[in-house]
């Protein structure tokens, strides 16, 4: 039987025990709510653990210690199961790797299972042994928290580990201070409540960080989607523009076929018939005179078809950007023009220092060939023919120019220059009016623009822009 002093001490602690039981029960409710709302891992186990601990604490007067042996094995089993559930819950909450989890649970739960077997069989158990089993559960779980803190930095696992160690630490402090066994058990209640609050707070903060990360991920995805939509809109705009160019080109093509292509083909047919009639009459001289003219008109038709194929290639080819040295491309264009007609005297062409740009070399090369080739064509017969090729750079954009002192043209007609088959000088100069259309489409495929400035008999200057290289 308890002494009056012990009974008085028990009654004095009872009100505090009721408050502790209420607080621990409230933690169980919060953990259950957290699991129902967010399905946070480990929360069901922790809710069950704190619920059992609340019941154990509320029934404190029914299992007060009497002597060195456990006198209330049923309540001892409740405490052991609660500690084991807490161990499983924290291991699950930490997201312990599967390989480590199996060994950890086996080592941490085995002592509790053995204790439960002894309690169920009615074997007398020293109270100190039961306390040691509980201490092993808290200490082992704390070590797992410290390990998880190294794996998942900044998640607050260190604080959970320290709170776990505070429970056996409080009991040990009571023993070292020499308190009666009836009182020592109460040293575990405040650290237990602190553990519940710490774990709850860390879980909420962890959940908040996860939500912030999810919001950041969705914001990034939304920005990427917005950028994609913008890109798609730009592509649609570009495709619409290309389609309009194709339609315009087809209309011009119809006109060109009517004049530029039908004429040579009709001439070839008529001259061929004349030559055939001459051969039938035995007049070889007339046939020999007609053959060169037939070849010339066939060459004219072939050049027109080649120009149309070049225009289609520029419009349909896939853009492959790479750092391109414009100095080299311009030099190659001049050499190609010189080799294409060795009999033609090339004018003075000065290529000023040109930068590197991000462009497709296969699309950029025809730009220089057509612009420099046009300049060469229109300075023919001029006094001191001269062509300048240079560039300026500003705001991450390169503006390339090709300037000549040729025949020039009316500046009011500059807008029509880049439409297919437009020839401002009529048939004074050879060509089909496709070259500048190739230039415009190639430049626009790179996101740039092209324009021209000129005056009659004062030369011309063609400009186009490109993004500067990195």
pLDDT tens string 356-406: 888 888 888 888 988 998 888 888 878 889 999 999 988 878 999 999 998
Q: CA 448, 454, 459, 465: dihedral to nearest 10 degrees?
A: -10
Cα–Cα distance between 102 and 92 in angstroms, integer? 11
288/282 Cα distance (integer angstroms): 12
CA distances from 357 to 228, 393, 400, 448 (A): 25, 10, 11, 12
Measure the CA–CA gap between 159 and 163, rounded to whole angstroms: 6
Supply the pLDDT for residue 91.
85
pLDDT of residue 426: 46
> CB pairs under 8 A, 24+ apart, for 211-220?
none
Q: Note the pLDDT of residue 402.
A: 93
Angle, nearest 10°, between helix axes 127-151 and 98-121? 170
Q: Which uninterrupted H or E stretch holds 403?
A: strand 397-404
Reported as a pLDDT band with limits 50, 70 and 90, residue 422 is: low
Distance of CA 342 to the CA centre of its chain: 53
pLDDT band, very low/low/confident/very high, at 303 (cuts 50, 70, 90): low
Look at residue 10 in the predicted model and tell me its pLDDT: 44
Percent pLDDT > 90 in the chain is 8
In the chain, where are the structural domains located?
A: 4-219, 321-470
How far is CA 54 from each of CA 50, 164, 170, rounded to the nearest angstrom? 6, 17, 18
Confidence of residue 234 (pLDDT cuts 50, 70, 90): confident
pLDDT digits (tens, 9 = 90+) for 86-122: 888 888 888 878 777 778 888 888 888 888 888 888 8
Query: What percent of the chain clears pLDDT 70, i.e. is strictly above it?
Result: 81
Q: What is the pLDDT of residues 180-211, one digit of tens each?
A: 666 666 777 788 888 888 888 888 877 788 78
Hey, what are 85's tokens? 């559930």
pLDDT at residue number 425 = 47
Residue 431's pLDDT is what? 52
Q: Which CATH class is domain 321-470?
A: alpha beta
Q: What is the mean pLDDT of residues 199-227?
A: 85
DSSP 248-275: HHHHHHHHHIIIIIHHHHHHHHHHHHHH
CB 442 within 8 A of CB 412: no
What pLDDT score was predicted for residue 148? 81
Mean pLDDT computed over every residue of the chain? 78
pLDDT tier, 311 (very low <50, low <70, confident <90, very high otherwise): low
- Of 1.20.1070.10, 1.10.150.110, 3.30.9.100, 3.50.50.60, which CATH number belongs to 4-219? 1.20.1070.10
Query: What pLDDT, on the 0 to 100 scale, is given for residue 6?
Result: 43
Nearest-angstrom CA–CA distance, 52 and 10? 21
The pLDDT, as a whole number, for residue 95 is 80
Q: What pTM, to 2 d.p., does this model score?
A: 0.47
Over residues 132-148, mean pLDDT:
82
Q: Determine the average pLDDT of the residues in 299-306.
A: 62
Alpha carbon of residue 266 to chain centroid = 59
Query: Which pLDDT value is given to residue 421?
Result: 55
pLDDT at position 253: 57
Is the pLDDT confidence value at 228 over 80? yes
């Amino acid at each position: 039987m308890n002494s009056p002093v012990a009974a008085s001490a028990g009654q004095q602690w009872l009100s505090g025990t009721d408050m502790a039981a209420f607080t621990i029960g409230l933690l169980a409710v919060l953990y259950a709510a957290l699991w129902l709302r967010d399905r946070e891992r480990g929360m069901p186990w922790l809710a069950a653990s704190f619920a059992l601990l609340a019941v154990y604490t509320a029934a404190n007067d029914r299992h007060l210690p009497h002597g060195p042996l456990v006198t209330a094995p049923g309540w001892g089993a409740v405490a052991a199961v609660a500690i084991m559930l807490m161990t499983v819950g924290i291991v699950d909450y930490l997201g312990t790797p599967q390989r480590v989890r199996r060994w950890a649970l086996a080592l941490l739960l085995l002592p509790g299972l053995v204790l439960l077997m002894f309690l169920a069989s009615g074997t007398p158990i020293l109270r100190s042994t039961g306390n040691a089993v509980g201490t092993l559960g808290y200490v082992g779980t704390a070590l797992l928290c410290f390990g998880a803190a190294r794996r998942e930095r900044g998640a607050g696992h260190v604080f959970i580990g320290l709170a776990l160690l505070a429970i056996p630490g409080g009991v040990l402090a009571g023993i070292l201070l020499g308190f009666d066994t009836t009182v020592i058990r109460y040293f575990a209640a405040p650290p237990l409540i602190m553990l519940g609050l710490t774990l709850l707070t860390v879980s909420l903060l962890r959940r908040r960080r996860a939500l912030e990360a999810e919001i950041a991920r969705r914001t990034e995805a939304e920005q990427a989607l917005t950028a994609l939509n913008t890109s798609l809109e730009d592509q649609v705009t570009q495709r619409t523009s290309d389609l309009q160019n194709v339609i315009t080109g087809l209309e011009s093509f119809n006109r060109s076929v009517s004049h530029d292509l039908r004429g040579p083909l009709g001439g070839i047919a008529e001259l061929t018939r004349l030559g055939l009639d001459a051969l039938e009459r035995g007049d070889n001289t007339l046939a020999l005179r007609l053959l060169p003219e037939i070849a010339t008109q066939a060459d004219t038709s072939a050049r027109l078809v080649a120009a149309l194929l070049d225009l289609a290639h520029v419009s349909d080819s896939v853009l492959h950007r790479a750092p391109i040295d414009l100095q080299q491309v311009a030099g190659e264009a001049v050499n190609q023009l010189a080799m294409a007609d060795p009999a033609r005297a090339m004018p003075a062409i000065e290529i000023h220092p040109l930068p590197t740009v991000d462009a497709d070399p296969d699309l950029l090369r025809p730009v220089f060939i057509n612009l420099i080739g046009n300049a060469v064509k229109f300075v023919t017969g001029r006094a001191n023919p001269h062509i300048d090729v240079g560039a300026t750079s500003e705001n991450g954009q390169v503006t390339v120019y090709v300037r000549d002192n040729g025949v020039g043209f009316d500046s009011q007609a500059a807008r029509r220059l880049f439409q297919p088959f437009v020839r401002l000088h009529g048939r004074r100069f050879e060509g089909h009016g496709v070259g500048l259309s190739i230039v415009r489409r190639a430049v626009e495929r790179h996101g740039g623009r092209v324009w021209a400035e000129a005056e009659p008999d004062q030369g011309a200057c063609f400009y186009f822009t490109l993004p500067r290289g990195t």
